[in-house]
C-alpha cells in the first residue's frame, strides 16, 4: 500500500512538472496515476477488514488446536524469504 502511495505521489509530481514546464497535459496519464491511489485504498481496506476479523475472533470452547491471526503472518518485521 505504501509503495502505491509513493508511486502516486511521484507520478503526480511528474505530471504537474510536465504541465508547468512544457504546458502539456494528458488525461490518460492522470487516469493511470489515479489507479495507483485507488489500488492503495483497496489494499488498505482489505488490510483493515482482515484486522477487524482478527479482532473479532473468539476461540470455540473445547478446541485443542493451534490458532494464528492473519496479522501475525503478514505484518511482522521478519522476512519469509
Task: Output the 3-class SS for the chain.
Answer: CHHHHHHHHHHHHHHHHHHHHHCCCCHHHHHHHHHHHHHHHHHHHHHHHHHHHHHHCCCCCCCCCCCCCHHHHHCCCCCCC
| CA 68 – CA 72 distance, rounded (Å) | 7
pLDDT of residue 45: 93
Pair 71, 47: CB distance under 8 Å = no
Residue 69 banded pLDDT, cuts 50, 70, 90: low
pLDDT of residue 60: 60
pLDDT, one tens digit per residue, over 10-50 is: 999 999 999 999 988 889 988 999 999 999 999 999 989 88
Radius of gyration of the chain (CA): 20
Residue 68 banded pLDDT, cuts 50, 70, 90: low
Residue 56 banded pLDDT, cuts 50, 70, 90: confident
Amino acid at each position: 500500500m505504501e509503495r502505491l502511495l509513493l508511486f502516486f505521489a511521484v507520478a503526480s509530481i511528474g505530471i504537474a512538472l510536465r504541465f508547468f514546464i512544457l504546458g502539456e497535459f494528458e488525461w490518460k496519464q492522470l487516469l493511470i496515476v489515479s489507479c495507483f491511489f485507488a489500488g492503495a485504498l483497496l489494499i488498505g481496506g482489505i488490510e483493515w477488514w482482515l484486522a477487524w476479523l482478527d479482532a473479532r475472533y473468539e476461540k470455540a470452547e473445547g478446541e485443542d488446536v493451534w490458532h494464528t491471526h492473519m496479522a501475525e503472518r503478514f505484518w511482522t518485521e521478519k522476512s519469509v524469504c
